Structure 1
Amino acid sequence: MTGAVPSLKDFARVWLKIGVTSFGGPAAHIALMHRVLVDEQKWLTERQYLNALSFCMLLPGPEAMQLAAWSGWRLHGLRGGLIAGLSFILPGAAVVLVLAALYGAFGAAPLVQALFLGIKAAVIVIVVQALANISRRALKRPDQWALAGLAFLAIFFLGVPFPVIILCAAVYGYLTSTGPVGELQAPDPLSFRNTARTAATWLAIWLVPLGALWLALGGDSILVQIGVLFSKLAVVTFGGAYAVLAYLSQEVAIQREWLTANEMIDALGLAETTPGPLILVTEFVAYLAGNKAGGALMGVTAAIVGLWMTFAPCFLWVFTGAPFIDRLEHAPKLRGALSAITASVVGVILNLALWFALHASFANVERETLGFLQAWVPDLTTFDWRMAALAGIAAVLILKLKWGLGRVLPAMAALGWLVSLAG
């Protein structure tokens, strides 16, 4: 049984504490919320929390942030959802904006580059660790292993866009899963009208500002392009934060060339050091793209646009679907589609890990094509032995000694500086 519904003041205080202490990526965030909401405060039952987590994993976008918004909605309706969601987002967003501004101003300085040498090495290990964790959860049958392999081949050697991979996996999972389409009860007319009104409201909150920007600035504006790209991210990135990151890297560093590969690795490293959802990396990316296009003020504006287009859809999905969460328990076809998507995301994240490792370890990496095939090929003479050594140390700290990111990233930054001093 859950305890009494907390007062709005106590509820907001607890969520602000979660927001400023939520370091460590999606898995750590989900564990922290479980400890606070289920074990300590007893505001939610174990079943409610797990049902909500399953629901959020069915949605595109960052599951930890959506779980926060749902938890708030469950206890205090719309106000609670906004308080929980924004408390989880805004503290980290403020820190990321400051870090992005500092990086935009001083990122090319030798000291900064030396610090990020160690952080890059840690990021490679962090992504590999995430890959291993997701693989253990997602790859349990031969067809799931096949989906992961095909997804990797499609994105690495054929350049197939991420949304196409996800769509194909979803169709396969839906068609091959056993069981009925689902036993979702038909909503009554009142709940249907409320749901439609909620969806329309949040769709307007999400897209009307983008339309206004388009009318005012035109489609070629960097602000509009960021808004459009991040809106696409919000719709197609099933599979959690690392799936979002894989698509973002493909679009920003390869297709549009707003950032370099090393800047994308640095962005993830900084996002890992801050509280809040890992997907705040989109704010960092937006700031750098805007800063390059028009200076610091444009960078701040682009960061705000990026935040809006990343998180407004999350509230849309949660507030629209939350009333029906208990009805999703008996929908095997939907779960089959999600299972196949998650399996394919493993292959996409493998591509991300390999792409990061190549660009961090070699000074020169070129995209080579042979007919319809393509691949990233490094110039072996530009191999940086320092990155291999630092990655080995990071692997020991993270995988063997189980250090948290709060210790690993500062330690690796210091080691990167020392190694740079040694030449």
Structure 2
Amino acid sequence: MHAELVERRRWISERRFLHALNYCMVLPGPEAQQLATYIGWLMHRKWGGIVAGGLFVLPSLFVLIALSWIYLRFGDVPVIAGIFYGIKPAVTALVVHAAFRLGSRALRNRVMAAIALASFIAIFVFAVPFPVIVIAAAVIGIAGARWAPAWFAPPAAASHGAAGSTLDGSGAAAPARALIDDDTPTPAHARASRAQMLRVLMVGILVWGAAFGALAAWAGLHGTLTQMAAFFSKAALITFGGAYAVLPYVYQAAVDQFQWATATQMIDGLALGESTPGPLIMVVAFVGFVGGWTHAVLGPDALFAGGAVAASVVTFFTFLPSFIFILAGGPLIEATHGRLAFTAPLSAISAAVVGVIATLACFFAYHVFWPQGLAGYIDAVAVVIALLAAIALFRFKVGVVALLAVCGALGVLATWALPLLG
């Protein structure tokens, strides 16, 4: 999104992009979709936000429904199993790369790096809940804005290269202005209004209530679909830090509490989520499909339809709060543009999220490289595939789709060749 919207298309400036990103980081729920909604709303009012946020999600929903069906129907076929075997190490490298990319922007000085390290230790060693880490980082940012503003000030706007430049009167290259630049006045629809905020909140609550009420009347208050709607509504409201921070919470509920999926299916679902367009949080659609299929929510003769309905229900209730947060709170955030008192705590939270993503990388590497636990063997082939994927990402900037395709092929080759080698 940064490469497309800031660097290539020049729809929004670097500072305003990061300002919106920091707001989405502090919100519960999927920040990537929230950021798409925010920029669509800022450029084209409420319907721009709804279109941008909706189309950010729908393609991956359709793809994941199809891939989830293939996984459940043909997952035991050696070729499919081999593809997943190769994709899992690649996903480990992708998580590490995600931590690096965010860290390169957020960890711009020693203080931010220390916040990330403290976040990593807190959640990895002491299992501190992520909301506590968010609050602690925000408090540090508030104090920093007052007592050490130089450490928490936003970075200077970066100049862009020739690909995004124009020529001034002297013929010298000058950076092209963004459609929404640092000094662009706030559009009329993006100015804070208490009445407008209350209207959006009321409409959002009514839409949620009508959808949940209709679902409860149809499936029953304790039915699988209603339980999914309730849980993922809660997850969207109380989980912070995006998909990488949400996944442990969803994993615990889906596997241990509701038995919608197994532990192996959850790891495979993350691999599928990484391989599809749209935000990684769309792995929840996989959880919904598997749960709807295994619990036969529409009966044993309609397993695919039940899975598709469950995936759609989960997606709707996961993303609805995000639209409400952006359309209601966006004007307040625009009013804080450039104010250190607001940007400092969000910058600290962004640094803390880097530590959380690093924690997830360790968690995923553990399950991929030591499939039987630390007491068991280390999967040397998975380690090699992960190292090759990391080199492709960091050194050669290979795209995600191409990377997963190659690693999936390597997985098929490995599962075919290893038995022959004894």
For the Cα contact (< 8 Å) 1:178–1:332, is it kept in 2?
no
Find out whether 1:293 has 2:295 as its counterpart.
yes
Amino acid at match of 1:109: V
Determine if the alignment matches structure 1 residue 304 to structure 2 residue 312.
yes
Q: CA deviation at 1:102?
A: 1.3
Any conservation in 2 of the 1:71–1:81 contact (CA below 8 Å)? Answer: yes
Residue matched to 1:419: 414
**Secondary structure of the structure 2 residue equivalent to 1:329:** coil
Contact 1:284 1:303 in 2 (8 A): yes
Aligned to 1:354: 362
Runs of at least 5 residues in structure 2 that lack an aligned partner in the other structure: 150-188, 297-302
Q: Is the 8 A contact 1:290 1:300 kept in 2?
A: yes
Task: Name whichever of 93-102 and 206-215 sits farther off.
Answer: 206-215
Q: CA deviation at 1:190?
A: 9.6
Q: Residues 244 and 356 of structure 2 are in contact (CA less than 8 Å); yes or no, is this contact kept in structure 1?
A: no
Q: Residue in 2 aligned with 1:221?
A: 223
State the distance in 1 between where 2:287 and 2:398 align: 27
Worse-superposed segment, 399-408 or 259-268 = 259-268
2:382 to 358, 382, 387: 387
> Which of 230, 233, 244 in structure 1 is aligned with 2:232?
230
Instruction: Name the structure 2 match of 1:20.
Output: none
SS at match of 2:76: coil
Residue 281 of structure 1: aligned partner: 283
Query: 1:402 Cα shift?
Result: 2.0
Aligned residue for 1:401, secondary structure, equals coil
Flag the structure with more relative contact order, 1 or 2, with Cα contacts below 8 A and sequence separation at least 6: 2
Q: Tell me the amino acid that sits aligned with residue 398 of structure 1.
A: L
Q: Is 1:261–1:359's contact at 8 Å kept on the other side of the alignment?
A: no
Distance in 2 of aligned mates of 1:216 and 1:91: 27
Distance 1:256 1:362 in 2: 26
Deviations 1:173-225 (A, max 9, x none): 33453289xxxxxx9x9931122011111132234423544565556433233
Equivalent residue for 2:48, pick from 56, 80, 94:
80
- Structure number with greater Rg is 2
Structure 2 counterpart of 1:329, one-letter code: H
Summarize the Cα distance change of 1:388–1:251 in structure 2 as closer, same or farther, 3 Å threshold.
same
CA distance in 2, matches of 1:212, 1:357: 42
What TM-score, normalized to structure 1? 0.77
Equivalenced residue count is: 373
Amino acid of the structure 2 residue aligned with 1:305: V
Partners of 1:142 and 1:256 lie apart in 2 by: 43
Aligned: 1:317 with 2:345:
no
- Which consecutive residues of structure 1, in runs of 5 or more, have no partner in the other structure? 1-28, 181-186, 366-377
> CA separation in 1, counterparts of 2:243 and 2:3?
16
Are the structure 2 counterparts of residues 170 and 231 from structure 1 closer, same or farther at C-alpha, using a change threshold of 3 Å? farther
Distance 2:285 2:400 in 1: 20
**TM-score normalised to structure 2 length:** 0.77
Measure how far apart 1:416 and its partner are.
Answer: 0.5
Q: In 2, Cα distance between the equivalents of 1:168 and 1:231?
A: 25
Q: Which residue of 2 aligns with 1:128?
A: 96
Displacement of 1:417 in angstroms is 0.5
Instruction: Report SS of the residue matched to 1:419.
Output: helix
Moved more, 263-272 or 304-313: 263-272
Give a deviation string over 1:58-105, Cα, whole Å, max 9, x none: 433333322332333334322222222222221222111111121122
